[in-house]
Structure 1
Amino acid sequence: MTDLYIGLMSGTSVDCIDAVLAEFSEVDGELRCHTRAALGHPISNEMREAILALCAPGPSELDRAGQLDRRLGEEFAAATLAVLQKAGVKPSAVKAIGSHGQTVRHRPPGSVSTPFSLQLGDPNTIAALTGITTVADFRRRDMALGGQGAPLMPAFHNAVFRTGRDRAVVNIGGMANITELAADGQVRGYDTGPGNALLDYWVKLHLGQPYDADGAWAASGAPHPTLLNRLMGDPFFAAPAPKSTGREAFNPSWLERASAGLEVPPADVQATLAEVTAASIANGVREFARGGELLVCGGGARNNDLMERLRRRLPTWSVTATNEYGIDADWVEGAGFAWLARQTMLGLHGNCPAVTGADKETVLGGIYPA
């Protein structure tokens, strides 16, 4: 028996909506995940700016958030219908949609007196426009149980990438997070810090490009020692897990404060930011095990410069994209939210308390029937 689920994800980079049609089956008690179709549904520049504007306090937030919630719901629905058309699959064949939504504010425990996390992309609208039951709001149940509400992918990584050897999975999106899959069965994971978000910001500011293709601009520069030390001195990097982060902490203002008083060529700043991403990931990997397999997914897996920086810092590790292990690096998170929808519909837990710090395992998300 196989079941079809759709996963929808828009990450910190706010570059597009990932839509993945995933097929799940169990063979001899082992879960198999196959991506039947996937695509990146574009987000307009106007909508992207509206999303980014809500990532920091500002005027008329409630009105802007309410309207953007509906508009994003419509875009998530359009992404769903587009991936179904690509696959030649009818909506009635899909069990459910798992929609992460678009995070506009994430305040984990320790950052504010009352932690919360807010994602936009109205699941009522998605269900109404697609005719498919939608599961959404995955983070807040974990947070209600004392957890960080993130990262959510380690439980999925454990389900589909576990092996008998020490293996780590790192997702490099706007932020980066790591899952540690120990040979003895233990699972650990946390956000390591910035991924692509500041790299994208800096290359757009100076070259007018949406991202640094293949990391070519970063590769043309050299990390600035003083700036690198200042950035890596942020307390988040030394903080113990569980921990999660976002644009609230790692943003242009953070970079401006660290670079105050320094004269650094723009290409060297880009190289320094790339080194921060690689160093913070590598530090977590080295603390986990002396060697093993590092599987990389997210947009960072297509950044050749970033992959080489990881290999230089992790000479005893095999560093490869998840493509070689059955799921295209671009679609792992989308497939993960399809899996989370499946877990919810089956009444199974979707969080990993060892990762988030929640009091217990729990079913995540709310179900919005078609």
Structure 2
Amino acid sequence: MRELTIGLMSGTSLDGVDGVLVAFSDGALQVLQHATQAFSLEAKAELLALNSPGGNELHRAALAANALVGVYADVVQQLLERSGCSAADIQAIGAHGQTVRHRPQEFDGTGYTLQLNNPALLAERTDITVVADFRSRDVAAGGQGAPLVPAFHRQVFGRAGEAIAVLNIGGISNLSLLGEQILGFDCGPGNALMDYWCQQHTGQAYDADGAWAASGTVQPALLAALLAEPYLGKAPPKSTGRDLFNPAWLAAKLQGFAALAPIDVQATLTELTASAIATCMDSYGKNSKLLIVCGGGALNGYLMQRLQAALPAVQVQSSAAHGLPPLQVEAAAFAWLARQALLLQPGNLASVTGARGNRVLGAIYPA
């Protein structure tokens, strides 16, 4: 029997919402439709601001969550119209929400992870069952709450008897190592710092195809200072976000490098992302001869070139070559996680997150 599920993802890049309509049949999945909607400049600015302490946060966060659900509902409507499906045809929507704080195991030993969302409102707006709040149960079980995609990566990209690495480059980069044992963790910055620096100095939201960075020169001293960040040398399980890799972090690292041209800083930030990923592969993914890349970073041609140069013994390929275009993978993962929740099946991997065991993830808001 074919089951239809929608996955919605708005990641740390803060560029907007990706949605997919996924069909599950006999354990296999197929993306039937993909829709995307960019955030308005005002929405993006507010979501970015809520990553840091500020005035009247609770009120602003609640309204930002409502506005986010408005975008989610629009994307769901696009998927239904394009597919010819009705709300009654859809088993569930997996809605990740927008991460604004991610501090597992900190402060009191448990810590927290916070995704802005209003799944009750989304269920009302769409008349479809919504599954949300995927990360909290893993954190409650002593885990990092991230990354959650390795189990899904195993499902769609895994090959029996073969070690394969899957890399998602959003605002943060996270790596899944698929083999006899599955590992997964956040490598470090993905697009977040590159996007910020590009916007500040060119007015563009991102460095299209990495062309600006490709015209600059990597600065070894600055690169060494960036790579000295303790997180990058920490052993997994580990996860991170804009709580660490943010403009304040970059400003502190740039002290003493004020004379550098912005274009050279961009080249160095791109090299930082590639180098951090390559170090993780060298340390934990030596058996992998294939690196499948998804997320917005897979569309950055210069970054992909730098990854290939840093990993000469590994074949670096876009996920598009393996059946799923880069901007569909994470949204499809949350469609899969929603289905797992409805089936009362685990969505995490304790070997990845460090949780005390595998857990059913997500809270269910019936239609």
Q: Please report the TM-score for the alignment, with normalisation by the length of structure 1.
A: 0.96
Say if 2:110 and 2:139, in contact at 8 Å, map to a contact too: no
Please give the secondary structure, in 2, of the residue aligned with 1:360.
coil
Q: Tell me the distance in 1 between the aligned counterparts of 2:261 and 2:225.
A: 16
Q: Does 1:341 align with 2:338?
A: yes
Give the distance between the partners of 2:331 and 2:107, measured in 1 at CA: 28
Matched with 1:243 is: 238
Indicate the residue corresponding to 1:125 in structure 2: 121
Equivalent in the alignment of 1:15: 15
Alignment of 1:85-124 (within 5 A): 85-110=81-106, 113-124=109-120
Residue matched to 2:321: 324
Q: Give SS of 2:242's match.
A: coil
Which stretch has the larger CA shift, 210-219 or 113-122?
113-122
1:345 shift after superposition: 0.5
Task: Output the amino acid matched with 2:221.
Answer: T
Partner of 2:30: 34
Matches within 5 A, 1:132-147: 132-147=128-143
Name the structure 2 match of 1:312: 309
Of 167, 176, 179, the match for 2:176? 179
Give 3-state SS (helix, strand or coil) of 2:96's partner: strand
Query: Contact conserved, 2:110 with 2:142, CA < 8 A, in 1?
Result: no
Which of 175, 188, 193 is residue 183 of structure 2 equivalent to? 188
Unaligned runs of 5+ in 2: none
Q: CA deviation at 1:111?
A: 6.5
Q: CA-to-partner distance for each residue in 1:258-313, whole Å, 9 max, x for gaps?
A: 11011211111001100010011111112221541100000011100000000001
RMSD: 1.1
Q: Which amino acid aligns with 1:330?
A: L
What is the alpha-carbon distance in structure 1 between the residues aligned to residue 216 and residue 303 of structure 2?
13
Work out whether residues 6 and 19 of structure 1, in 8 Å CA contact, stay in contact via their aligned partners in 2.
yes
| Structure 2 residue identity aligned to 1:137 | D
Deviation at 1:71, TM superposition (A): 1.9
- Summarize deviations over 1:188-232 as a string: whole Å, max 9, x none: 000001000111111111110011010000100111111100000
Where does structure 1 lack aligned partners over 5 or more consecutive residues? none
Q: Contact 1:179–1:189 (CA<8 Å) still a contact in 2?
A: yes
Asked if 2 retains the 8 angstrom alpha-carbon contact of 1:166 and 1:289, the reply is no
Q: 2:75 aligns with which of 76, 79, 94?
A: 79
Q: CA offset at residue 57 of structure 1? A: 0.5
1:2 equivalent in structure 2? 2
Shift of 1:2: 1.6
Aligned position for 1:61: 57
Q: Which residue of 2 aligns with 1:205?
A: 200
Offset at residue 253 of structure 1 (A): 1.1
Does residue 162 of the first structure (1) align with residue 168 of the second (2)? no
Q: Aligned pair count? A: 364
Q: Is the 8 A contact 1:108 1:245 kept in 2?
A: no
CA–CA separation in structure 2 for the residues paired with 1:336 and 1:301: 17
| Counterpart residue type for residue 171 of structure 2 | G
Following superposition, the deviation at residue 88 of structure 1 comes to 1.9
> Which of 47, 50, 56 matches 1:51?
47
